[in-house]
Amino acid sequence: MKSFLLPLFCFLLIICTSSFAQNTVIDSVVVKQCNVYGDDGPTHTTTIDSFNVDGFIMSSTIFDSLYNSTYAYNYYYSNTNKILLIQYGYWNNGIYTHSLDESFLYDINDSLINHSDINITYPTLSRRTLYTYDLTNHIMTTTRQSYSSIWIDESIVVDSLDNNNRILREDWFDSNGIQLNLYSTKWYTYLPNDSIDFYYQTLYASGHDSSIFVHTYDTNSNLTRIQQNRWDSGTSSFSLPQEYWATYYDSTQRIIAKSAAWFYDTAYWDVWDTTYYVYNNLNQLTITRTDYHSPSAGNSAAYTYYPGTNDVDSLHTCRWGQSSGTCSDCKLEYLSLILGEQNQTEQNFIVFPNPASHQLQIIFSENVEEEIAVSIIDLESRTVLQNNSQRILFHIFVGH
């Protein structure tokens, strides 16, 4: 058994794993720190991401000082790097309040046959979603359920596919607490190159409100626009749609604009909001801006990047409107730890940050198969925590 003595206090987080052995050896760790200074006061966010030797993310942990919250994601893969399990946990003020486990199942050809997730908000609320893929009979089913002594269906979505596994029809059944009723149906049509031409949707629950989603392409078959028109069954005239949404793309399929409007009192179009996206010559997003027209409000974000990388260097955000207006700046600092053999020490682990007063990350660079003992010693040489585990992925909270 290996032992580690740590002269720290308050919070300990250990990220690593020995499950699914050959694909879960941590190869690199990236730490991103964001210090925000705005009208809401200074805040500090730290994100710690770890990756395996194949470059796939293994874990991501976010610490938010403003809300005293911690978000943790862990990822597990098969021998062929297919995702098997995603685990999510959320802590607020040191209390575990929310978890999500999403699992995936494949056949011998690595084709996905079903996956499911269980979403728990502590202490009582539980929900899960079950996905099944029957590509032989060309049907996909999504079932959402809630738990109250037994699992009860909340909704079921059934997708019917053609021989090329393109969705032809989607039926959504919703529960009224007693039985499932047909809520909406979508019908899809395709162009000869298999691109979506348009699809039509009817909402039965709201009196047969209807929408049509039209896809527009350029001469090179690049998508340039998706436009949704919605008709309200409660109006006397069906000649014009009552609502309109559109998303615009450039020739590289980047979103460049969004807009929404509604036909006001059957007299004129009233724009709800517009959003613009600006990119630099390296295909990096540099500016987003959204203007809300009724009431007048909006927000914007500007990004800068470290030279030669896609890593955000700084982020400047602003919002404005009738009730509030503030701007803030986030400066991102990165620390990349490469855990290759040339950087390993005899200890085979890294402590970060060191020294620390609030939180600590221990990263093991080897695939540990024996039990690990971790002890935390305060500045007065008192042992405030001891933990033994054969796993090297676990979370420990300690009080003052």
Q: Name every residue whose Cβ is closer than 8 Å to that of residue 264 and which is 6 or more positions away in sequence.
A: 270
Return d(Cα 397, Cα 400) in angstroms, integer: 10
Tell me how far CA of residue 267 lies from CA of 233, 234, 257, 294, 326, in angstroms.
Answer: 17, 16, 26, 17, 36
Q: Tally Cβ neighbours within 10 Å of residue 61.
A: 21
Predicted structure pTM score: 0.66
Predicted confidence band of residue 322 (pLDDT cuts 50, 70, 90) = low
Give pLDDT tens digits for 229-261: 887 765 545 556 778 899 999 988 999 999 998
Which amino acid is located at 204 in the chain? Y
Q: Show the tokens assigned to 363.
A: 């990263």
Beta-bridged to residue 95, according to DSSP, are 92
Return d(Cα 327, Cα 36) in angstroms, integer: 10
The number of angstroms, rounded, from the C-alpha of 70 to the middle of its chain's C-alpha atoms is 15
Give pLDDT tens digits for 92-119: 988 889 999 999 999 888 888 889 999 9
pLDDT > 70 in the chain, percent: 68
The number of angstroms, rounded, from the C-alpha of 216 to the middle of its chain's C-alpha atoms is 28
Residue 332: name the closest of 353, 355, 306 by CA.
306
